[in-house]
Chain A
Amino acid sequence: MATAFPTEIGAPAPVRIGPSHGTLNFRLREVWAYRELLYFFVWRDIKVRYKQTAIGLAWAVLQPFLTMLVFSLFFGKLAKLPTNGLPYPLFYYCALLPWGYFATSLQNATNVMVEQQRLITKIYFPRVVLPISAVLSGLVDFAAAFGVLIGLMAYYRIVPGRAALLLPGFLLLAVVTALGFGLWLSALNAIYRDVRYVVPFLIQFWMFASPVAYSTVLVPQRWRWIYGLNPMAGVIEGFRWALTGQGLAPGPLIGASAVAVVLVLLGGLFYFRRTEGRIADVV
């Protein structure tokens, strides 16, 4: 693909188009140049998602809320899984909030290239803008569901400590996790169409591999860092800890998560860039 982005009037250097050779150049500056288009994609996704639904944004809230009720009943009251002293609803909701964001963003990122097939085959823009927009538009749902969390915390009279200042960091970790895996799935699905059917199963399985329905204290200390290679483990424990002060303080688990997610992100960017050239032909 081009090795420089479009020049403006009078500039002498041309844009050069040629077959790409799997360059390691991520061309992030180009993505920055297209940030307005990214904004428009996110804006469009949000507007369209809620234009005609009667419940609108409330749906983004209902899902984690209802799941929380079910979990509280079955894993909490009936199975009596340990929650480090937190009331069940709060314990689950703190996890379901970032988890819901991750699951939705992952599915959206997987589908986005195929859904926007018409755009991709007619207009040029850095294709990576699409999975990024899928991952960012989930943040609006997140914000709505977050409002309910505030309500829950008020109800249970849990006041967040100074740890809450780290919450944006964990949110960032969640976004980067969604983006890292989203890039892989998005490129894979554009080429191999059956990938999108695997994702719901993947997410189901992943949820049980993450401390959503249970606390990490169930995992023996020695294995925690391997467990932490699942970036969502770090995200969820981090959320719980930042919001309620209970649970695992940042340590080897979250460290492992952060490292894992950076590797996934770099790998995802690389794979995406490498297959980008093919995508318009096969999507």
Chain B
Amino acid sequence: MEKTARPLTPTLSPQAGRGSMAFILKKAVISALVALVLFFLMIGIRTEAGSSGQLIYWTRFGELAAVVGAVFVGSIIIELLRRWIGPVGSVELPASVRGGFAVLGRFLAPALLIFALLVPVIFYNERYLLDLAILVMTYVMLGWGLNIVVGLAGLLDLGYVAFYAVGAYSYALLAQSGLPFPHFIDTYPYVALDFQQLGPWAFWVLLPVSGLLASLWGVILGFPVLRLRGDYLAIVTLAFGEIIRLVILNWQDLTGGPNGISGIPRPTVFGIPLTPGEHGFAAMIGVPFSPTHRLVFLFYLILALALLTNWVTIRLRRLPIGRAWEAMREDEVACRALGINITTTKLSAFAIGAMFGGFAGAFFATRQGFISPESFTFQESALVLAIVVLGGMGSQLGVALAAIAMIGGFELFRGLDQFRMLVFGGVMVVLMIWRPRGLIGHRAPTVFLQKRTEISSSLVKEGHG
């Protein structure tokens, strides 16, 4: 069994006999048998808690047969495809095609930007699509923010959603209750910091505040993990994300626990509310009020925030700190030997990445008007990380495209309901096997010595520095 099932792995040199029909059939039969054992109990038998609390079960052999059959057929199809396409990774595009892609790549970014600017114009009457576009842009921004930490500095962060949560809760709490410490301070000075007095300006004042608070948390996380590397770092950031979520969930006095916070102030166009009233934005510019205005405004807001993230990242890459990040990603030991201060380099990466996460969080809170811990689970972190990795770790355009593909794909499968996460997980596995270096591989350092050389990511210990 060991030997016969081997071709499940992509083989680099197709050997004689591996493509024969008998071999393919044999492999499919074995796959089907494995599937039968795997699924016999899990699919063949369905358990459910009965009315009086005891467990009941019933059989579903029809479904079982269907799934096993699907595995059999799927195995044959995959093997045939492999036979026709050839081993994974051996397809070399001709130079002319690659040149064409390069040209396309150069025009893709401006074209996407122009398209993004025109989205509210094109889809003005399609509320659903506008909403989706806002969601996609939120993830683009989160992806770009995490890209600073993971893609540029090479620090694997599995708890990025913590900063998103900190931003969202900072905004929600500060905007609602002023300084959120009335529990601790009985006397009056806290009124001096009542953000409700800001009225319509609340969002614009609190947006940077949320970002700063998030980056503060980034530094708080950064300090203990300074010495950690690779997988240890990943698991600590994951634990950190979970701690933040659990504290939010359990600190009921402050955060409302699982009920969340509702009635979060909506954003204003620099102080002018988007309401139907006399002082609303619509009345101000003399057009009839429409709820779509808010969506359009939110879209441009998140687009501006995302572009800010992008711009800052691009600028930082050219500053000494950005160079230090990339150097640290490639080799931390060498970096230290060259006298780069690893402490500030790491902390700044965490702080700046977290800050953009905080901005995105504040935006999320103001867009939804309601937040609860459910929005900040590990799944979100994994989704954003998947976007960054699929985008090619360090490529700004790649991250944007990956965000569009992932969130768009996620929406397409909305009808599948509970199968959605199953499909998402499966797609993540398949994409990793198919393109482990991302859809658009690009993580060459910005500076080169003497000659422009390609640095293959397989030679670099990822997340190891």
Q: Do A and B bind each other?
A: no
Interface, chain A (partner B; CB < 8 A): none
Interface, chain B (partner A; CB < 8 A): none
